[in-house]
Structure 1
Amino acid sequence: MNLVLDYGNSFAKVGIFENYDLRSQYTFAHRDELKNFLQNFSADNFILSSVTHEASSILPWVDHIKTKFILTAALPLPVKSLYATPETLGVDRIAGVCGAYQKFPGTNCLVIDAGTCVTYDFLDDKGNYHGGAISPGLKMRLQAMNAFTAKLPLVDVISNPPLIGTTTETCLQSGAINGMSEEIKGIISLYQQKIVDLKAILCGGDASFFENQLKGPIFAIPELVLSGLNSILIYNVGH
């Protein structure tokens, strides 16, 4: 049994796998809850991906697990990375790409992770990871307009905001939400103009929010990063 942990900016996500099958998953908002879970869960193998927390502070929580890995730029991957600065690459991004490779081998994939930031990552049909783009996530856009202006309020995220806002609140919601939706559509279109037979894959905390707003063939796989971490774990256990 494999235990994988994706420790992101906002939440810690845990996946339990039997080989490549995701059996269960959990989300933790509080560090103490995560610690208690890890200390009391038995598994054969463990891998950690963290963008915010020092791995050395988390590994003692899984001392009882024999085989452990930390996802870093030095860890062998099932894909070939062509990224010019691998030491600066977010580990969640490479995990998402490996998830795409495991689910759609031999396919050109654009992985769109809609989380704290929106990341776009391209994997070609030969298993080469090229890179992509990073832009502000939905909540970050709303927070920025509030933080960097004197009078604009912080507004809530809503579904299907009007195109034409009739109040300052709905104008902010229209700009951030419709703007991000159109950005994603536009990026997909740009890739489709350059790449034949492209498969667009959406994941991340806001994936379900945008899934219904994006038209055309797009695969929403919220657990993609967890699946990618598991594939990296299996790859390293086998080596």
Structure 2
Amino acid sequence: MFWFAYFWLVLRYTNKFLMNAAIDIGNTKAKLGFFKENELVAYKAFNELKELADEIKKSEVSKVIISSVREDDESIKKILDLREDPFFLNYKTPVPFVNNYQSPTLGLDRIAIVAGAQTLFPDQHTLAIDLGTCITYDFLEAGIQYHGGAISPGMHMRFKALHNFTARLPLINPAQQVDVIGNSTENSIQSGVVHGVSGEIRAFINTYKEKYNPLNVIITGGDAKYFESKIKATIFAIPELVLVGLNAILRHNASI
């Protein structure tokens, strides 16, 4: 992509555009985002951490924040071999919102998503919906009070569950267009899963709006693009919300 190549040329030959780097290491891919203050200026995904390490060494960054669900901190530092130690997000990291969640097992991706929602909509009610392996709903009241939300099975998990926990139902992939009335077993599964997820999302949005209005709604995650046109509600699709949140947490900790 031309714009990405141009960005690297600018970054390599001038020192006045030093960026922050946010790294989200998931179960299958690692994502790298470069930020100038709160603006995401470049993004790339990698299958291997070594590829990410090679890419980041081409740049001039001031600070790096990392969230990982796969590797431990020391292994990541060894693989990336950065000039300075990165900042690792963990459950004790200070965040720019009030965390009222009562369990210490709140996922790092959910922490970052809430911070990202706060960055995009400060002082406003926001519901962030992550459409990934699981579907998570995270609510931020008035841009400061995080109360929690909900977790349910994601779309692909539902397809797999119908196949794995029955004797004869096939494992299928989501179609682009799905009728409400299925005229075959395969089409009935498509309808149940896809329209079930869509209906669930709309119900959560409407329930929150009954109590917190006006309400901003953000969708993110791997299946966000698939459901963006199916939800039939005013939403903001922000694919890299986790990276936005990681950068916000990095900036927050640099100021305290």
TM-score range, shorter chain: over 0.9
Q: Which range is displaced more, 210-219 or 45-54?
A: 45-54
Is 1:195 aligned to residue 231 of structure 2?
Answer: no
Equivalent residue for 1:24? 42
Equivalent residue for 1:71? 89
Secondary structure of 2:86's aligned partner: strand
Alignment check: 8 A CA contact 2:133 2:154 kept: yes
User: How far 1:218 moved relative to its partner?
Assistant: 1.1
Change (3 A) 1:14 1:190: same
Question: Normalised by the size of structure 1, how large is the TM-score?
Answer: 0.93
Letter in 1 for 2:212: I
> What are the superposed Cα offsets for residues 26-79 of structure 1, whole Å, 9 maximum, x if unpaired?
112344433443455442111111223323321223332425211111111111
Change (3 A) 1:173 1:157: same
Alignment check: 8 A CA contact 2:49 2:80 kept: no
Is 1:177 aligned to residue 194 of structure 2?
Answer: yes
**Structure 1 segment 205-224 matched on structure 2, within 5 A:** 205-224=222-241
Q: Which has the higher contact order (CA 8 A, sep 6+)?
A: 1
1: CA distance between counterparts of 2:52 and 2:171? 30
User: How far 1:232 moved relative to its partner?
Assistant: 0.5
Greater radius of gyration (CA): 2
Letter in 1 for 2:219: L
Letter in 1 for 2:194: I
Equivalent residue for 1:90? 107
Is 1:50 aligned to residue 68 of structure 2?
Answer: yes
User: How far 1:112 moved relative to its partner?
Assistant: 0.3
User: How far 1:105 moved relative to its partner?
Assistant: 0.3
Question: Normalised by the size of structure 2, how large is the TM-score?
Answer: 0.88
Secondary structure of 1:88's aligned partner: coil
Equivalent residue for 1:147? 164
Equivalent residue for 1:15? 33
Change (3 A) 1:148 1:195: same
User: How far 1:185 moved relative to its partner?
Assistant: 0.5
Equivalent residue for 1:163? 180
Equivalent residue for 1:6? 24
Secondary structure of 1:158's aligned partner: coil
Q: Identity of paired residues, percent?
A: 44
Is 1:37 aligned to residue 55 of structure 2?
Answer: yes
Secondary structure of 2:61's aligned partner: coil
Change (3 A) 1:155 1:187: same
Alignment check: 8 A CA contact 2:129 2:219 kept: yes
User: Unpaired runs of 5+ in structure 2?
Assistant: 1-18
RMSD of aligned residue pairs (Cα, Å) = 1.6
